[in-house]
Chain A
Amino acid sequence: MPVVELTEAELVAFGEAFGAALERPAFVGLEGDLGAGKTTLAAAILRGAGVRDTVTSPTYALVHTYDTPRGPAHHADLYRLDGPAQLAAIGWDELLRSPDLVLVEWPERAAGEWPATAQRMALAHLPGDPGRRRLTW
């Protein structure tokens, strides 16, 4: 499993390139503690995928959908869900069947409902090095 340590500029470059290269359908989970950089990485992936609107955290709206030249891109945040039983409220089944790009922060909240074939990335703080993050995928 690749592990890289990246500055914010590198994380953004990686994310934009990854987003530009992703073929659809794509279902990607982004794990990491609060402040680890999940939304920064998600925003970079979405920009790379062609989103031109400003990407904001969907923590309260739960799902944001953006237009891209290659079709919709969905950005979900499961942080506020109390458990997998609430996934239906955000249209989880529709997201699973979507032919689009789907990015999901806090995928661990989906527990057993997370699709086994979906890609997951994890961001972690580096002790003593606030300028970089460890990215595992």
Chain B
Amino acid sequence: MVTPPLTSGLVLALDASGGDGTLALLRDGTCVADATVVMRGTREETFLPALLALLEGAGARLADVRALIVGAGPGSFTALRVIGATAKGIAEGTGCPLYAAPSLGLLVAADNRTHRAGRWFATLDALRGDRYAALVVTGADGAVGAVDSLGLVPASEVMARAAALGATPIGPDEALAAMPHARGAARALAMVRATGPVDLATWEPGYGRLAEAQVKWEAAHGRALTAPAPGAPSA
């Protein structure tokens, strides 16, 4: 598949790592429209209509989209999976490439206060007293240059860990309050394109920790739950 430059034409970005669905339409590398859709408790039917309305408002159709960027997590398990399935459906229907972006990078890039060279200790609530964390480095032009996942960090250690890395904490529960949003993709295009499009058959969001259902299944069965390889014969 030919991968078009993400800085020309229409690019649609989606993310749901914070639990809400977020959308952004980028034209020639600049965010021209964005939206946030409450997904919880509504069986997710509001997301696609919001996506189509966003395109219509910009005078565009899905067929005009040249590439998709989806937030890869970590974050809300169900929302990430639904958004991931939506992104795959659009990619399959349009034939355009799908790229994945670290959602903690989108969190930093979506906030105007980080539009400068900096080191950011980005976090999202991981429940049970933990935060998903990543070190996000931005350049002088505000572009995200690197996102290094730090995994799960106890909430009580965020300040110390950030200080040790010379980074500023940012996230919904930090002093610099921010939420992940798909519009952050506009400041992460070079990094996203460098990783190349994902394989629709194998790509899945990275949740940051095992789903609760998997934890319970493994506790009940006393062994790890391993997914069968795609195409593997059924037992």
Chain B residues within CB distance 8 Å of chain A:
43-45, 47-48, 51-52, 62-63, 78, 81-94, 199-201, 227, 230-231, 234-235
Contacts and interface: CB of A to CB of B under 8 A. Distances in A.
Given A2-B200, A18-B90, A23-B94, 12 more contacts: A2-B199, A2-B201, A3-B231, A4-B201, A9-B78, A10-B85, A12-B44, A13-B89, A14-B86, A14-B92, A18-B93, A20-B51
Contacts of A2: 88, 92, 199-201
B92 A21 contact: yes
Interface in A1-39: 1-7, 9-23
A17 B78 contact: no
5 contacts: A3-B231, A11-B85, A17-B89, A20-B48, A137-B92
Given A2-B92, A127-B235, A21 B62 contact: yes
Contacts of A128: 235
Contacts, number: 87
Interface of A: 1-7, 9-23, 48, 124, 126-128, 137
B227 A20 contact: no
A48 B84 CA distance: 16
A19 B81 contact: no
Residue among B78, B89, B94 with the highest chain A CB neighbour number at 10 A? B89
A124 B230 CA distance: 12
Nearest to B87: A17
Given A18-B92, A21-B63, A22-B93, A9 B43 contact: yes
A17 B86 contact: yes
Contact of B93 (A3, A11, A20, A124): A20
A1 B201 contact: yes
A5 B227 contact: yes
A44 B84 CA distance: 16
A17 B48 contact: yes
Contact of B88 (A4, A7, A126): A4
Contacts of A22: 93
